[in-house]
A and B are shown apart, each in its own frame.
Chain A
Amino acid sequence: MTFGTATGDGERGAGFRVDGTWVGAPVTRKEDPRLLTGGARFVDDIHLPRMLHAAFVRSTVASGHVTSVDLSRVLEVPGVVAAFTAEDLDLGDITPRLDRPPEEYTETSMPILARDRVRFVGEPVAVVLAEDPYAAEDGIEAADVTYDVTPPVLSEEQALAPEANAVHEQAPGNVLLDVSMFASDGIDDVFAEAPCVVQVHTRTGRQNALPLETRGVVAGWDSRAEQLLVQTCTQVPHQVRTVLAGSLGMAESTVRVLVPDMGGGFGIKCVVGREEIAVAAASIRVRRPVKWIEDRKDALSASFLAREQRYDARAAFDETGRILGLDVDVLCDMGAYSCYPFTVGIEPLMASSEMPGVYRVPAYRVRGRAIATNKAPTAPYRGVSRPQHVMVMERLVERAARELGLDPLEVRRRNLITVFPYTGVNNVTYDPGSYLESLNLCERVIADEGWYETRRAAADQGRVLGIGYSCFNERTGYGSDAFAKRKMQAVPGFDISEIRMDTAGAVVVTTGTMSHGQSHETTMAQIVADKLGLPLDKVKIQQGDTDRVAYGWGSFASRSITIGGTAVALAAGNLGGKLLDLGAHLLETPRDNVELGDEGVRQRDDPARGLSYRDIADVAYLKSHLLPKETEPGLQASASFDGVGDGTFSNASHGVVVELHRDTGRVEILRYVCVEDCGVAINPQVVDGQARGGIAQGIAGALFEKVTYDENGEPSAASFLDYKVPTACEIPDVGMHHIETPCLFTDNGAKGAGEGGTIGAPAAVLNAVNDALRPTGVELNDTPITPQQVFDALTGALEVAP
């Protein structure tokens, strides 16, 4: 592919494709100049006159009844202006709902501030407002809260024990969701008769999604607009508005949610948090704007976490390595509360429906459970369950290959879905992908780079190298039909876009999606620029403002480019239609004799004859008397789009080479190769960035990060000293390769690209480590893998897998 350099369009070094399209070109990101030169505005950059700062008095016990909250000394602290308890603010709870029967789902609520009970260390009990954040922290120290402590429930064993304390009264057994979505007839016979049955038991560590920018909000009543202005870093502005207005008992029209630049979200900002609501309510009470910026300690311990799961999985294979059946029990530790709008079902439902993945699985049974524990609650973290269940699936395939004496890649090839569309036992229809092709290419890259020889040569020198792969798909572009299968009461799916052209021929387009780092201002502008024949700098994307954007479901589940991107394309197309109508009228030529071109409408039979958008806009706005009678003045259009069927599946294969250090147990990643297929990449540079960042988070889960608690439920990590997020030094460069299997229903063939990196990495890293450990007979299936485990495996101190 070749790229040109645009001149005269104001883009610095931005390349467009020589075929003339912006879509597919690695144009430089429109956001970067401001992000890189300190011009961006994040929540914490907002300073309003008379603004106060909030801090939260948080529970110091994991489980107990609040017996008293005395804030009198708080108010004596210099600088403190006010302090409120749950009783003072009297706010409605956050109650996410699933349309499932009581035997499957127990509904629970999350109060904005804890009332009678606390359920995890760090749960907010009161909010303190002060003139500066220092005084606010002095204030929370002066609070006197007493608890009647009850023994906390901190693990799955404790939660499911017969006499366990109930985290929520409604769920005496601490199971909030228990679904058995699929159970193929005769599956027990399949396992009984199969020549090869393998099992994998896995536990994955609790993780924090860790956006660099923690959560935060600035809220205050705007008496001119007669609105509560809530500036907050959220992936879902409209959902925040709905829940916040409901909790405060206000009309939605009196709340405006505005999202500044965001420093990441990764899912923990696609749920509605309680602190934002408490701060908004408090700001109304004191009639002053209030800011709350979550500090890193609270971000690590008291925000939303994810990924603590246990799998008991078995798979049946025939002698040739074909999968005959899959039987899985997945249990997810969702912590103290259910998140809005996804509920505690988010992880177990995802695992249940997606587990078969890229493989043809003829018989399937799954039980998915969500349990409540006295730990910080959970939210959908990038990839949601898929990093875990793909890892389990890939381990099953590897174990079967070992058992049967087959090449694990060959076993994969024999099972990969290659004929599309394919409808699986899980009732999901997969659109075309490159499952086999991506795996083959990935293996070829690793082989061509000589890693198989390197592994052999290293072994001769006593070094321990391993090569591992993962092969997976990722459902993106869930429409409302696909989400409806989850039975959430608030069903995400569609997106609406509105587009306006101004008198100078430039357009502003709204999207209901919410970029929190993915660069929609660039990628969506590329889409619109192509539709209308505009230069990039004449397209401005507007997002993150509930007053300006008609409605939106925000950004999560890799939905933005598929659904939001199609909505902007359709809106631009509709505007294009209007421009053609007007152009034809003004050129006095038939409608089918005009086309959109370089910033204008031109005549097909005589391309020299045409009108620029500026000319057309001049009539549409400034000389509307020249418009045909039935034509409305102005140049605007809108469109909506909803995902089709079961959505569209991106896919990828990852290949990893690791070295295990004999003297320390360290796992060093020597090479990482990613072959991804997200359909048409609107901007390959952005796609690469998404994959690389995702892979870093996947490696973090495989080898580094884990949130732990002591026996009282006190989180062990208050800073990055203990929560071991890897740094650039631990993350390898990634060799990126692309295959393009266009999506058939999105406007430009794009599929989602936001989460794949994270999904494939744990499986590939684990497989590589286990490949290296092969001579020892040890298999490691729990994450994160620690250096001590590797060391013990290498020195024979670990038990050999049965």
Chain B
Amino acid sequence: MSDVLAITDHRRGELRDVSYEIITAGRDLADETGGDLHLAVISGTVDEFAEKLDREGVDAIHTVDYGEEFNHGVYTQTITQLYDELAPQYVLAPNSVNGLDYAPAVANELDLPIVTDAVGLETDGDTLGVTREMFGGKVETATELEGDAVVTIRSAEWPAAEGTGDATIEAFDVEIDEDALGSTVTGFEEVGGGDVDISEADVLVSVGRGIEEEDNIPIIEELADALDATISSSRPIVDNGWLPKNRQVGQSGKVVTPDVYIAIGISGAVQHVAGMKGSDTIVAINTDPNAPIMDIADYAIHDDLFDVIPALTEEFQ
């Protein structure tokens, strides 16, 4: 009752980075509970995945060779059966779009509490402490719960596990009730293509909801022209149809690493930051000195973009 079961993530033949990060998070917890770290690899080329996942700190890897791609029903059935077999204290899953498609179902089926999007974890063996954000990252909270739990972890918060391990790799004998699989994946589509690739730009002038109206977008365009830079944006600008999808930076858009990223009226929600935190120099222009973007910015202007941007454009005309 002190083991940790961590679920790995892959898509279209590739393990996702969070699969190595969850090893680190799981190992840290298992060290505190004094238990073993088990990994589950479900669907796809599981043997190949298992070999890659056999890194330092992993005690056992359970493979389930069933289907190619993610199906939440298969995941939910497999994880609940693994839970019954292994009786772990904590089940860790990635807080990815797919993680959020099965982890709540697993918790509910097993009658366990769930805490999502953890950025920090600690346990004394009885009480689990989970650090998470609220209000789009404006505050952090400490939460606690007793006993067994399901936790999803935020990506890029724990370092990836390294080295080579000596885990036992074993096929888990799962029984999938096919009649209970009520959804079918019929395909994938890449969106956000087109003539511009914002990930190639040296300077990005990136606009967020602070711009207020579509009619105000030209002041950003004028700045981009003056700087010979490329325009990108946060999600709401694309959701509103003010800029095309290929301009969106973030988790569901593009990952960019320009020399300079100028965030204009962007709060810095985690899903946005995931796409731009690797930029060389980050400049934030925001009226809110407490906006989360300030935590990763190198330079900041705490002022109204409608005053700052025209003045900046003028500098280059």
Is B truly associated with A? no
B residues lining the A interface (CB < 8 Å)? none
